[in-house]
Each structure stands twice: as C-alpha cells, then as structure tokens.
Amino acid sequence: MKIDTKSKKVNKAWLNQHVNDPYVRLAQKEGFRSRAAYKLKEIDEEFQLIRPGQVVVDLGASPGAWSQYLRRRFAPKEAGVGGAAAGQLNGRIIALDLLEFEPIEGVEFIQGDFREDEVLAQLEASLGGAPVDLVVSDMAPNLSGIAATDAARIAHLIELALDFSARHLKPEGALVAKVFHGAGYDELVKAFKDQFRKVKTAKPKASRDKSSENFLVGIGLKR
C-alpha cells in the first residue's frame, strides 16, 4: 500500500502546532471546548458587545465555545471565577448548528441547517417575537478549494445572517460574523455598511496568523 508521506508530514506539523498552541492550552485549562472562545472574548473586549440581560443568537455554534463564553458573561456574579457554576443566567442564549451540540446548561440549542426555511422558522418561533441584542456567527461552509464556489457559499451564509439580523435585531443591536479574505470580501464589507451605521473589522490574536479568516462587526441598524 502506498503511503502519502507528504500528507503525513502536513498532518504531523498541524498536530504539533495545535498541541503547542497557547490558546489550545488555555482553553483546556479554563474549560472551553475550543480555542475559538478567545476570538469572541477579544472581539467583545474591544467593542463591548456583550452585557448581562441580553438575548443572543449564536449561529454555527458547535462545538459550543462561543456559547460557553456567552454563558459565563451572563452567569450570576456569585458563580465564582469564570462564572461557570450553575445558576439562573441573566440573559438568554439560543444556539444553532447543523452538527450535534453537547448541552450547555442555560443554552437553548436548535440542530439544523440555517440555510433551510423550516430551521429558520424554528429559530424565530423559539425567539417568540423577542428582539435580539446580538447575533454572533462563526458559520463557515465546507470549502471546495474552488475560489468562485467558496466565495458564493460564504456570501450566502453572510447574506442569511444579515437578513436575519435586519428582521430581529434591536435598532442598536450588533452582528459579528466570520468572513474570509479573498474573492467577494469587499462585497461583504459593503453589505455590512449598507445595513449598519458602524462597521469594524477584527482579526483577534487567537485567530491563527496563516488563517484568512476575519470578523466583521456591524453595530446599529440603519432604519
């Protein structure tokens, strides 16, 4: 049997990088499901987006690190260091993902594809008409390696998140969405600027340098 030695070397290099990543180690130490928690943490600290008492929708939530961070921000002060202890949350978190999601106390989870109308309807029903303070989206499509196809898939997810935000955010609400530099990026920035009064970009330190991922932050609807 022929063994792809190049592939093995790449996998080994990635594994070594992952194991030695300071954010991976910190996530393990602090009980987060992935290093992604620190991306949202940095964005939150820069823009002061998350406050107790809010209604937040977490799109593309699996494995749950962003929901974990949100939960800790909403936990009662007596919960102690990290705010991870059990207790009534001062806020509401609705998480959605196509993948399975290990339950997090106090987080409502809907499993399904955000691109499907019936799943979107389920999310809207769960909100029950309540206005949303913040939408966070770590959604990313399965990439094909074909630039035009991947750009279209990314744009479609962002358009859905923008449309949902336009219909459900409070006037002063905000959307945080993961995007990728490349074809179609400028159009996505323009779409944000068409919808929000204030638009910022963020590249958290927790995002790997080699990654083309970036985050767009839109604050305050134009209406």
Burial 1-13 (b: 16+ CB within 10 A, else e): eeeeeeeeeeeee
Residue 166 falls in which region: left (phi positive, over 0), alpha (psi -120 to 50) or beta: alpha
Tell me the torsion sign for CA atoms 97, 100, 106, 110. positive
Catalytic residue among 12, 77, 178, 193: 178
CA pair distance 141, 208, nearest whole angstrom: 19
Among 64, 57, 61, 53, smallest CA distance to 167 is for 57
Residue 178 appears among annotated catalytic residues: yes
Residue 64 marked as a ligand binder:
yes
Residue 145 marked as a ligand binder:
no
Residue 163 marked as a ligand binder:
no
CA pair distance 8, 28, nearest whole angstrom: 26
Residue 182 marked as a ligand binder:
no
Residue 113 marked as a ligand binder:
yes
Strand partners, 221: 196
Binding-site residue set: 64, 66, 97, 113, 138
Active site residues: 178
For the annotated binding site for S-adenosyl-L-methionine, the residues are 64, 66, 97, 113, 138
